[in-house]
Amino acid sequence: MEKSNKAILLIHEIYGVNNHMKFMKEKLSKLEADIICPNLLSKDAPYSYEEEGMAYQNFVQNIGIDEGSRQITNMLIQLKQEYEEVGVIGFSVGATISWLCSENNLCDFVIGCYGSRIRDYINRSPACPTLLIFPTKEEAFDVDYLINSLKQKREPLLEIKKFYGFHGFMNPFSQTFNKESADQAFQTISDFLKKT
């Protein structure tokens, strides 16, 4: 198979490289890019959704947003030497890491899907085209408040979309999966990537 000139780093949630990430990797590979999904966890097997507490604990204690961002930044530096275009797509905690990468000048584009911790890093300014996708409802915070806070900054490279559903609405393995919203979000991602 011929190597693409575009690479996308797919950044997983607290669970690791699970079926959701494998599904996303396959789906995103249709966008004519090499999809690389690194394992940021300190273990090989992913956590199950029933192990959410353990997965969260492990991520906070052993990785964290800052260390995750450092690992992804190092990978971006390497990929920039091999590919013309490099971007990141992250889900949940991976979306927050993606958001932090948006201002490091290594990415050609950034996409973050339901990054709830973005609310702790509102002051960032994307240096590349950046798409943030949110559900209409999050248990932990007010989605509209976060979106309004981001929009008030009037970042020229930032695009924000909201789709009906809850955190995880794009994940076919989640109880919160919403096919209609997921399809709309994928179309938005595809259009965004064609534009950039």
Q: Decide: residue 179, CB within 10 A, 0-12 exposed, 13-18 middle, 19+ buried.
A: exposed
- Per residue of the chain (196 residues), what is the pLDDT tens digit? 567 899 999 999 999 999 999 999 999 998 889 999 999 997 889 999 999 999 999 999 999 999 999 999 999 999 999 999 999 999 999 999 999 999 999 999 999 999 999 999 999 999 999 999 999 999 999 999 999 999 999 999 999 999 999 999 999 999 999 999 999 999 999 999 999 8
* Sheet containing 85-91, strands listed edge to edge, beginning at the edge strand earlier in sequence: 34-36, 6-11, 85-91, 109-113, 130-137, 158-166
Euclidean distance between CA atoms 86 and 88, whole angstroms: 7
Question: Among candidates 80, 86, 171, which has minimal Cα distance to 133?
Answer: 171
| Per-domain boundaries in the chain | 6-195
**pLDDT score for 2:** 64
Give the predicted TM-score (pTM) of the model: 0.96
Euclidean distance between CA atoms 5 and 93, whole angstroms: 27
- Tell me how far the alpha carbon of residue 175 is from its chain's centroid: 19
Helix/strand/coil for 90: strand
Euclidean distance between CA atoms 128 and 156, whole angstroms: 9
Looking up tokens 């959701």 gives 20
Sign of the torsion angle spanned by Cα atoms 180, 186, 188, 190: negative
Architecture of the CATH domain 6-195: 3-Layer(aba) Sandwich (3.40)
